[in-house]
A and B are shown apart, each in its own frame.
Chain A
């Protein structure tokens, strides 16, 4: 099992609430990623980071924001959750290098009611 952890695994929350999805890795990887995965659909990159204080938006537009204050930690925040944010969110990390393997967390399944 990879050393990358996401909490919570499942979250049901009301519309308008602020939420933070946590992601931590203990492998010392510089690169970290957030993907959004809808049921039966491919994963889409929504945020990534090359290292501390680096954050970039991915291919899929998202209302979420991320921060990278520590190498091992890459939280994702939604300031005001909406039903359209209902999805599975997967965090991943990798070493630098194009052939590097990405290690994935178990995901957070978010439901906004």
Chain B
């Protein structure tokens, strides 16, 4: 079974600074997809960024980028120029290829933005 580990229960960063959230996963599959989701307080969970395992290039979405290290099974999220609206729980998630069912989530990292 696949597992996703987020070793940082909480992170704090000054507004406008850069922060990196860590995620590691364990799988025996070669085809899979990785996601970072954001869950603001009392609001819907939304997708931040996704990465296909077969792509070597790291995904980037505006201020959000990932460092995908397939051999190390590592998938960290970098948030540049942190903003107050970035404060939320961030979940790393895994989905296997070949029509796998649902997402496997990590325990989440609570990101605090200091003004």
A residues contacting B by CB (< 8 A) are 1-2, 4, 33, 35, 40-45, 48, 56, 58-59, 90, 92, 98-99, 101-102, 104-107
B115 in the interface (beta carbon within 8 A): no
B residues contacting A by CB (< 8 A) are 1, 4, 9, 31-33, 35, 37, 42-47, 50, 52, 91, 95-108
Interfacial chain B residues near A58, Cβ < 8 Å = 101-102
Interfacial chain B residues near A2, Cβ < 8 Å = 44, 46
Distance (whole angstroms) from the CB of A94 to the closest CB of chain B: 9
21 residue pairs of the A-B complex, CB under 8 angstroms, read A4-B44, A33-B102, A33-B103, A40-B9, A40-B107, A41-B107, A42-B91, A42-B107, A45-B102, A48-B102, A59-B102, A59-B104, A98-B31, A98-B95, A98-B96, A99-B50, A101-B47, A101-B50, A104-B46, A105-B44, A106-B43
Q: Which 4 A-B pairs have the closest CB atoms?
A: A45-B102, A104-B45, A42-B105, A42-B107
Distance (whole angstroms) from the CB of A55 to the closest CB of chain B: 12
Bound together, the chains give a CA A1 to CA B108 distance in angstroms of 22
Bound together, the chains give a CA A4 to CA B44 distance in angstroms of 10
Bound together, the chains give a CA A105 to CA B101 distance in angstroms of 18
**Given contacts A1-B44, A40-B9, could you give 17 more A-B pairs where the C-beta distance is less than 8 Å?**
A2-B44, A41-B107, A42-B91, A43-B91, A48-B102, A58-B101, A92-B45, A98-B31, A98-B32, A98-B96, A98-B98, A99-B50, A101-B47, A102-B47, A104-B46, A106-B42, A107-B44
